[in-house]
A and B are shown apart, each in its own frame.
Chain A
Amino acid sequence: MSTSEIDRQWTTRLRRRVEGKLPPEKMLPDTQPTYVSSWIYVFGIATMSSLGVVIGTGCILALRGPQWWHGSAYGHFINSMHLWSVEIFFFTMVVHLWGKFAMAAWRGGRALTWMTGVVTFFVSIGAGFTGYVSQSNFDSQWISTQAKDGINATGAGAYFNVLNMGQMLMWHIVLLPIGAIVLTGMHVLMVRIKGVVPPFEEGAEVAE
Chain B
Amino acid sequence: MTKKAFRPDVDAPKWKGGYSPYDIIKEGTIALTVILVLTLLFAIVFGSPDEKAITIKTWSNADPVDFVNTALSELNGTSTTASYGAPYNNVPGSGQAMGPLKLESWVGVRIPVNAARDFVISPLKSLPDQPALDQDLKTWSAASTTQQNSWLSAYGKAVTKVTIVKGQVVVNTTNAGPLPVMLNDLTQMARSGALDQALIAGHGFYTTDYTKPLLFIADSGYLANLASNQHLTGDQWGMMNETGSYPGQAWLWLYTFWYQIPPFNTSASGDALVFATMGVLSLLLLFVPFIPGLRSVPRKLKIYRLIWREHYQDSK
Contact = CB atoms under 8 A, between A and B. Distances in A.
A80 B307 contact: no
Contacts of B14: 198, 204-208
B261 interface: no
A87 B42 contact: yes
Contacts of A164: 208-211
A122 B98 CA distance: 21
Quick one: which of B1, B243, B271, B299 has the most chain A CB within 10 A?
B271
B13 to A, nearest CB: 3
A81 B210 contact: no
Contacts of A203: 6
B210 A206 contact: no
Interface string A126-139: 00110010011111
A36 B156 CA distance: 71
B299 A137 contact: no
A199 B314 CA distance: 13
Quick one: which of A119, A203, A204 has the most chain B CB within 10 A?
A204
Nearest to A33: B15
Interface of A is mostly: helix
A184 interface: no
Nearest to A140: B53
A125 interface: yes
Interface pairs A-B: 3 shortest CB-CB? A166-B208, A108-B12, A204-B13
Interface of A: 28-38, 40, 42, 45-46, 48-50, 52-53, 57, 69-70, 76-77, 79-85, 87-88, 90, 94, 99, 101-104, 106-111, 114-115, 118-119, 122, 125, 128-129, 132, 135-147, 149-155, 157-159, 161, 163-167, 169, 197-208
6 contacts: A28-B25, A50-B35, A118-B282, A136-B53, A155-B107, A203-B6
Given A163-B215, A205-B6, 6 more contacts: A32-B22, A34-B314, A118-B282, A137-B51, A164-B208, A206-B14
